Each structure stands twice: as structure tokens, then as C-alpha cells.
């Protein structure tokens, strides 16, 4: 008999998976390093998103990607986050691949993303985005 602990089950990935505002607010605060907020994510994604991807491990929300939508051919990857202990295992890459698959299947033509420079390898190499010119204006300090 082995004394090895039971291996953790593989993370389960789901398009438009169920989540609660409390668990996503906690994951977002941990992932992006800000104080715990009480945003109504459920209302936001149901109203404004093409969809979203949830990853759960052992029942816990461990990853999330939001795919916002203009109502037409453009969709936007936002809020990509994976719980710290589960990073560098390909979870975010798999979530973005699912977002690409779903957006394509629903007839969208363009999937956009913007990100900080240290994530170039992730979005360009691991996820297949190609560089483009883009711009942004901060509307509120
Ligand atoms: C960015 C983030 C979502 C990546 O999640 P992840 O599950 O660890 O990513 P993956 O394991 O799928 O990474 C695939 C590849 O992308 C690259 N990559 C991933 N994270 C990286 C990082 N922080 N810096 C540089 N390259 C990175 C690597 O090449 C990696 O392959 P490797 O592990 O074999 O080297 C995660 O680090 C995170 O939640 N960060 C905090 C929130 C954040 O900044 N989100 C981005 C919003 S735009």
C-alpha cells in the first residue's frame, strides 16, 4: 500500500459555468491583488458577456475568463485569472482556448485582448493572439 496522498482531480473547465459573486470576488481580489470587492459579476456577465469560462478544482473556483461582447462580431477577453497555487499548469491557456472555440462557434469574427507587457508570452505564444496596434484612455483615476 502506498502512503502517497490522493492526487488532486484534474481541474474541470466549463463554458458559462455556475459561480457565485462571493467566490469570483475572492478569486479576482487574490489574482489581481486588490481589496475584496462586492461586485455583481453575475448580473454583469449575464447582461454583457458572450460567455465566460469557469475552472473548478475540488469544487473550488480556481480560474475564470470573461468574454465581453459588442453584440456583433467583436468579443473581448477580460479578467483572465487563475488561483495562485494552480498557475503554470496550462489552466489559463485551456480557458482562453475554450473562449476562442466558443466565440468562433457562435459566429464572432474577432477576439481582442490587452494586457501588461510581462504577459506577451502567455497571450501571443501560448494563446495564439497576434500583435496589433490598440489604444486605451483611462476615464477615471
Ligand atoms: C496570467 C495568468 C492568468 C496565467 O495563468 P496560468 O494558468 O498560470 O497560465 P498557463 O499555465 O496557461 O501559461 C501558459 C504559458 O504562458 C506563459 N505564462 C503564463 N503566465 C506567465 C507569466 N506570469 N509571466 C510570463 N509568462 C507566463 C508561459 O509561457 C506559460 O507556459 P510555461 O508555464 O510552460 O512556461 C495567471 O498568472 C494570473 O491569474 N495572473 C494574475 C491575474 C492577471 O494578471 N491576469 C491577466 C489579465 S490580462
Helices (H), the chain: 21-32, 41-48, 91-105, 120
- Sign of the dihedral through C-alpha 60, 105, 70, 124: positive
CATH 3.40.630.30 fits 12-126, yes or no: yes
pLDDT of residue 46: 98
| H helix runs in 59-125, sequence order | 91-105, 120
**Torsion over CA: 46, 82, 91, 72 (sign):** positive
- Residue 117 CB–ligand 1 contact under 6 Å: no
The pLDDT of residue 6: 75
The structural domains of the chain, with segments of one domain joined by +, span 12-126
| pTM score over 0.85 | yes
Grid coordinates given for 6: 490522493
CA 16 from chain centre, in angstroms, equals 11
Q: What pLDDT is recorded for position 4?
A: 67
pLDDT at 7: 74
Dihedral sign (CA 118, 120, 126, 129): positive
Residue linked to cell 481541474: 11
Helix (H/G/I), strand (E/B), else coil: 13? strand
76 lines ligand 1 (CB under 6 A): no
Q: Is 55 in the pocket of ligand 1 (CB under 6 A)?
A: no
- Choosing from 122, 123, 136 the residue with most ligand 1 atoms within 8 A of its CB, the one to mutate for a pocket test is 122
How far does the centroid of ligand 1 lie from the alpha carbon of residue 94, in Å?
11
For the chain of 141 residues, list the mean pLDDT of each consecutive stretch of 10.
Answer: 69 97 98 98 98 97 98 98 98 98 98 97 98 96 86
Amino acid at each position: 500500500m502506498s502512503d502517497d496522498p490522493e492526487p488532486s482531480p484534474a481541474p474541470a473547465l466549463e463554458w458559462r459555468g455556475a459561480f457565485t459573486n462571493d467566490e469570483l470576488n475572492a478569486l479576482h481580489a487574490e489574482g489581481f491583488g486588490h481589496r475584496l470587492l462586492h461586485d455583481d459579476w453575475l448580473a454583469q456577465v449575464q447582461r454583457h458577456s458572450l460567455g465566460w469560462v469557469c475552472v473548478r478544482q475540488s469544487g473550488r473556483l480556481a480560474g475564470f475568463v470573461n468574454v465581453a461582447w459588442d453584440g456583433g462580431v467583436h468579443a473581448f477577453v477580460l479578467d483572465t485569472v487563475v488561483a495562485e497555487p494552480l498557475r503554470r499548469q496550462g489552466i489559463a491557456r485551456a480557458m482562453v482556448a475554450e473562449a476562442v472555440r466558443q466565440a468562433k462557434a457562435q459566429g464572432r469574427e474577432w477576439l481582442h485582448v490587452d494586457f501588461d507587457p510581462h504577459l506577451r508570452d502567455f497571450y501571443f505564444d501560448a494563446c495564439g493572439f497576434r500583435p496589433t496596434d490598440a489604444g486605451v484612455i483611462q476615464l477615471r483615476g
